Structure 1
Amino acid sequence: MSGAPADRIFFGGDVVTVDRDDRVVDAVAVAGGRIAAVGRRDDVMALRGPGTAVTDLGGRALLPGFVDAHGHLALTAQKLASANLSPPPIGRVTCIGDLQREMREQIERRDLAPGEWVIGMGYDDTDVEERRHPDRDDLDAVSREHPVVALHVSAHLLAANSRALEVAGISGVTPDPEGGRIRRRDNGDATGVLEETAMNAVFARLPQPSGQEAEEQALAAMEYYASFGATTAQEAALFSPSFMQACLRLSDAGEMPLDVVAYPLYTLARGMLAADSGRGHGRRFRLGGMKLLTDGSIQGYTAYLSRPYHAAAAGREPSYAGFPTFGSQEKLNAAVADGYANGWQVLAHANGDAAIGMVIEAARAADESHPGVDRRTTIIHAQTIREEQLDEVRELGLYVSFFPGHVYYGGDRHREVFLGPERAARINPMRSALDRGIPVTLHHDSPVTPPDILTAVWSAVNRVTSGGRELGPEQRMTPREAVRAVTIDAARQLFEEERKGSIEVGKLADLVLLAANPLTADPMRIREIVVEETVKEGETVYVP
């Protein structure tokens, strides 16, 4: 090897390249933010110069920086600034009283004046003692002077107090919007729980952060992601112009620690993408395409299934199977065709198999009218996709991004409450997809769960619930497959495989240093592996 001296050389451990041959080598050299050499220690050390930093891995492992295949960086930033209403192990809310305490502490912690919004995120109605959503009365008990909002763990429902409903203009006579529902009492009054598009009236009234606040929140979220080894983050439902502008300012100033790829919601995509044909002008920020929401959340009873839920939702008929957020197949077909016609990559959220069927039909129709392009259309979650639907996905060349956290965090309730044993065992059928040659990625869906990619890998490899029970072990991935799904395969989903996702000469020096190699560690201990350093283009962006 020859060339300019390296800026840094790593040696003395497993360098997991994730290249075409899945090589594990002795050493890697970094120069000018890119990989300069990969291979045997003696060969790579030929690039050592007087100014080269040398890092002895000491038996640890170096992997490509993790690539976020689906998450919500802006909403994660919001959650970090909000009351944490999550149940254990993420938070400490086990009952509605705990939720109220967290919201009251948020008022005190942020010294909120009367009239200012109080926001909490992450509650799970199926994981509190009362087994119900908080209602307007519960949140009125937190405060009547403030608009108070609690966002469900799925981010597909929220609960609002009376003041927030009043500010949003929601009353007993407000009609349900298309693709949404205002839950009501027997007398017709709103309970305070809003489903899907019904939340938009509240979202429209939430205060926007100042430019400086938006930058600070974005940086905090990126630093949080970096602590889990991520070097590329995703904002997969961009709706906040202030967040986008904050990222662009930080990128232009050279202050963004990570790459960020954002996908505006379809209703906003034309304005954002058409106004920026370059997909974002920032060095580390770009717009990747558009995001469609075709149904909701299984744990929120708003995912669109072909068969009824296992245990009927409160206030619903036994035959209830959820609903689509698009009012008709024709409307969804038009949205996907619009994306194809404009050359926008399409990410389509679909949890229920009925919604997945709608996405497949829309992709087929759009492909017939706009054929012959590498689009990498991705079904996000695909939680209950059926075997015959996977055949159609393969035929159409679609990608699938699975959320293995459903197995760990919610698997027991999927089996006992939402889907029943048979359907629950097949949630996130990774093995069925891989065996068909379908491109598969893994994600964490932050802030639904923390942006902990190693826990996503662990869950995909072991398929064990938080209660310690196996759930669909026949759908497990191997550690090698799971690591590829959060590195090179995730980069490929984002059209970035030529510049990141593996440790190969010429690619960006995006790296994560781990205390152990997840390919050789005890599979049940993968999530315990410590991230010891995250490197973005040769620069350290995280150390514990």
Structure 2
Amino acid sequence: MRSAAAATAGAFVCEAATPGTAQAQQSSFQDLAGRFESRSLPQVTIFRAREIITLDPDKPSATAVAILGDRIVAVGSVAELQAAANGQPYRVDETFADKVIAPGLIAQHDHPLLTGLTMVSEIIAIEDWVLPAGVVPAAKTPEAYRARLAEASAKLRDPAALLVTWGYHPLFHGALTRADLDRISTARPIIVWHRSAHEFIVNGKALDTYGIDAAFVAGLSEAARAQSNLDEGHFWEGGMFGVMPKLLPAIATPDRLRRGLEFVVGYYHANGVTLGCEPGGLFSKQLQDAQNAVLSRPDSPFRFFFIPDGKSIIAAFPDTAISETEKVLGWGEGMTAMVPRAIKLFADGAIYSLAMQLRDPYIDEGHGEWIMQPDVFGRAFRVYWDAGYQIHVHVNGDAGLDMVLDTVETNMRRRPRHDHRTLAIHLAVSRKDQVERMKRLGVIVSANPYYVRALADAYAQKGLGPERADTMVRLGDIERAGVSYSLHSDMPMAPGQPLFLMHCAVNRTTESGRVAAPDQRASRLAALQGITLNAAHSLRMDAEIGSIVPGKLANFSILEENPLTVDAARIKDIAVWGTVHEGRVLPVRRG
């Protein structure tokens, strides 16, 4: 994205003007109109709206916004902007006259490749999935899951065709092993992708077909072998990454990749997304090229950014990690790009796998796992810290967070950095003392509030117990402490719908309809900022996007209602008309 100063030079917002004031805007118009013949000035478009949510504290609401090219040049009322034009050509566009214009919604942490591949697989999950093709109903019991799995196998005409299914969760669906899958079919390969996407369970035919045998597992790293069970066909965390090169070519065929990524484009646009980011996807130039083939098209309704996977880079290139990371910057093209001087590291295991590292023991179910062993994590963190990188860290449990904060504090004491914006991602289980420590250390948060809705009821019974389950994603404490936080879906870990995330954060209603830990609810304003301005802040893009102020990119989400004033229970139901992306008006295609 170009700098605001470069893009607005010659437009009617002077660099010396103070953003957000009608006086500054009028002065800016007049200065330029007096300096140039009006016929030599480009035409400005003034969009009228029922209401504009600017997230600019100096002008929190307005009814008109003027844009030139891909930039916002003025905000106010139509009359103010017409007066400020002072001879410069303009047109008033009434397309959004009865709509609400909000800052462009940001998918701060999502996985387009993973989303595409799971959404075109056989979905048998713990919740309903509302997709453009229809609703895929939940399976919430072992019996329902096994019946659906058998039906999915039976409906494949080719008895040897691969069956890939996503959504399995043992707390809902019971134990599942290689032997169970063999009872469904010994003729076709079956790959069960765990709801967390951090585990595979496969049948014997899949092991044979894709060459996963005792010799192969013996050749994996020690950590990967410890997280593999060949007899049960079960591979989790490091074990999953170990068998990924064997299974991924079958899962990610060119046709499935294309269909899945085209789904991503339509789905995210329909939900008002104007910018997305994936921190730490699979470290593969071939897979990045496959994503670029769809996401980088010039007509894409959003830009998508990628942050490299430091776990893989540090493992492959322990002595040249920074130079190898710099090589990745050329992997994007068109509407995709790699984020410079940013990296993703991993602490503990997935919440959906109950593999978080916890201070206190699990109840009945669960086992703590490390994705990166603490000593390996510490070495990698130091390398990227010393190189001035912003470090995004996947962390789910309170013991995992202790490890991350200890590492940050060690490096702050050793080599202090101002505004490092180290990002704690997911933050399922945390403690209040850790919130204060994050504030002191300058750590910011990217939280997934959907965990409360999907998992609090079940995890209160098994795994975490009532107190830890209900206080998952403690946004109330984080907000009161003044820690900057954003919201993400980690799609497919939650639906990639920013307004639904806001709804989950504000309401904290569980699957049963109760409110979990009411004091941990987010305020509406902060939750909206979490999918706009604070999401941009977490990506170090807040000078360019996230609010509607002069000089920023003209990225808007066009809504039917105001999420700050609509009934809180209806935030998730707000209809999205479409978006404006860098000045392009893009209605959602219906049907």
Using the size of structure 1 for normalisation, the TM-score is 0.88
* Counterpart for residue 346 of structure 2: 293
1:316 maps to: none
Secondary structure, in 3 states, of the residue corresponding to 1:489?
Answer: helix
**What secondary structure is seen at the aligned counterpart in 1 of 2:233?**
strand
Q: Secondary structure at the match of 1:67?
A: strand
Equivalent residues of 2:446, 2:485 under 8 A apart: yes
CA shift for structure 1 position 486 = 0.8
- Contact 1:292/1:348, CA 8 A, preserved across alignment: yes
User: One-letter code of the match for 2:145?
Assistant: I
Map residues 347-362 of structure 1 onto 2, 5 A cutoff: 347-362=392-407
Deviation at 1:260, TM superposition (A): 1.2
In 2: Cα distance, 1:7 partner to 1:168 partner: 61
Please list every run of 5 or more consecutive structure 2 residues that lacks an aligned counterpart in the other structure. 1-25, 34-40, 130-135, 314-320
Q: Give, in angstroms, the shift of residue 530 of structure 1.
A: 1.0
SS in 2 for 1:290: strand
Of the three residues 60, 63, 69, the one matched with 2:102 is 63
Q: Does 1:149 align with 2:186?
A: no
SS class of match (1:331): helix
Label 1:263 to 1:276 Cα distance change in 2 as closer, same or farther (>3 A): closer
Match of 2:126 in 1: 87
1:197 to 235, 238, 252: 238
SS in 1 for 2:48: strand
Corresponding position: 1:524 with 2:581: no
Distance 1:252 1:406, change over 3 A: closer
Greater shift after overlay, 266-275 or 332-341? 266-275
Distance in 1, matches of 2:236 and 2:308, equals 21
Note closer, same or farther for the CA distance 1:375–1:322 as it changes in structure 2 (3 Å cut). Answer: same
- Work out whether 1:365 is the aligned partner of 2:407: no
Alignment match, 1:162: 204
Aligned to 1:273: 325
- Residue 514 and residue 22 in structure 1: after superposition, are their counterparts in 2 closer, same or farther (change >3 A)? same
Distance in 2 (alpha carbons) for counterparts of 1:272 and 1:223: 34
Q: What is the distance in 2 between the residues matched to 1:36 and 1:212?
A: 43
Aligned-partner Cα distance in 2 for 1:514–1:523 = 15
State the Cα distance separating 1:124 from its structure 2 match.
2.3
Residue 47 of structure 2 corresponds to: 10
Q: Tell me the equivalent position of 1:438.
A: 483
Which of 72, 78, 81 aligns to 1:44? It is: 81
Q: Please list the CA deviations of residues 487-525 of structure 1 after superposition, one character each: whole Å capped at 9, or x if unmatched.
A: 000001101001100011121111111111010011111
User: Within 5 A, what are the aligned runs for 1:60-459?
Assistant: 60-90=99-129, 91-94=136-139, 95-101=144-150, 103-104=152-153, 107-108=156-157, 114=160, 117-128=162-173, 132-166=174-208, 167-171=210-214, 174=217, 177-178=222-223, 181-182=226-227, 190-205=231-246, 206-207=248-249, 209=252, 214=257, 217-239=260-282, 240-248=284-292, 254-269=298-313, 270=321, 273-277=325-329, 280=332, 282-288=334-340, 289-313=342-366, 321-327=367-373, 329-459=374-504
Q: Is the 8 A contact 1:333 1:363 kept in 2?
A: no
C-alpha RMSD over aligned residues: 2.8
| 1:217, distance to aligned residue in structure 2 (A) | 3.8
CA contact (8 A) 2:74 2:81 kept: yes
Residue 19 of structure 1 aligns with an amino acid whose one-letter code is D
More displaced 10-residue stretch of structure 1: 487-496 or 386-395: 386-395
Q: Is the 8 A contact 2:49 2:101 kept in 1?
A: no
Task: Classify 1:28/1:249 alpha carbon distance in 2 versus 1 (closer, same or farther; 3 Å).
Answer: same
- Distance in 1 separating the partners of 2:441 and 2:153: 51
Distance in structure 2 (CA, Å) of the matches to 1:174 and 1:56: 58
- In the alignment, residue 273 of structure 1 is paired with which amino acid? T
Deviations along 1:399-441, one digit per CA (max 9) or x if unpaired, are 1111100011111112222211121222111111111111111
Q: Structure 1 residues 418 and 372, CA, compared in 2 at 3 Å: closer, same or farther?
A: same
- Which SS does the other structure have where 1:464 is aligned? coil
Deviates more, 1:266-275 or 1:161-170: 266-275
Q: Distance in 2 between matches of 1:107 and 1:344?
A: 48
> Hey, what's the Cα distance between the residues in 2 that align with 1:448 and 1:462?
19
SS of match in other structure, 1:348: strand
Residue 317 of structure 1 corresponds to none
Task: Give the Å deviation of 1:85.
Answer: 2.0
Deviations 1:289-347 (Å, cap 9, x if unpaired)? 2222211123312111111112235xxxxxxx5122233x3221101112223333211
Whole-angstrom distance in 2 between the partners of 1:6 and 1:144: 67
Preserved CA contact (<8 Å) 1:295 1:352: yes
Partner SS for 1:409: helix
Q: TM-score, structure 2 length as denominator?
A: 0.82
CA–CA distance in 2 between the matches of 1:9 and 1:141? Answer: 64
Distance in 2 separating the partners of 1:387 and 1:381: 16
Deviation at 1:383?
Answer: 1.3
Structure-1 separation of matches of 2:123 and 2:502: 25
Tell me by how many angstroms 1:92 deviates: 2.4
State the one-letter code of the partner of 2:65: V
In 2, Cα distance between equivalents of 1:39 and 1:106:
58
Q: Which residue type is aligned with residue 264 of structure 1?
A: P
- Could you tell me which amino acid in structure 1 is paired with residue 445 of structure 2? V
Counterpart Cα distance in 2 of 1:89 and 1:230: 22
Match for 2:426: what amino acid?
A: H
User: Which residue number in structure 2 is paired with residue 28 of structure 1?
Assistant: 65
User: Could you tell me how far apart the structure 2 residues matched to 1:113 and 1:42 are?
Assistant: 69
Question: Compared with structure 1, are the counterparts of its residues 365 and 219 closer, same or farther at alpha carbon in structure 2 (3 Å cutoff)?
Answer: farther
Task: Give the AA of the match of 1:221.
Answer: V
Structure (1 or 2) with the larger CA radius of gyration: 2
Consecutive unaligned residues of structure 1, counting only runs of 5 or more, are 314-320
CA contact (8 A) 2:44 2:90 kept: no
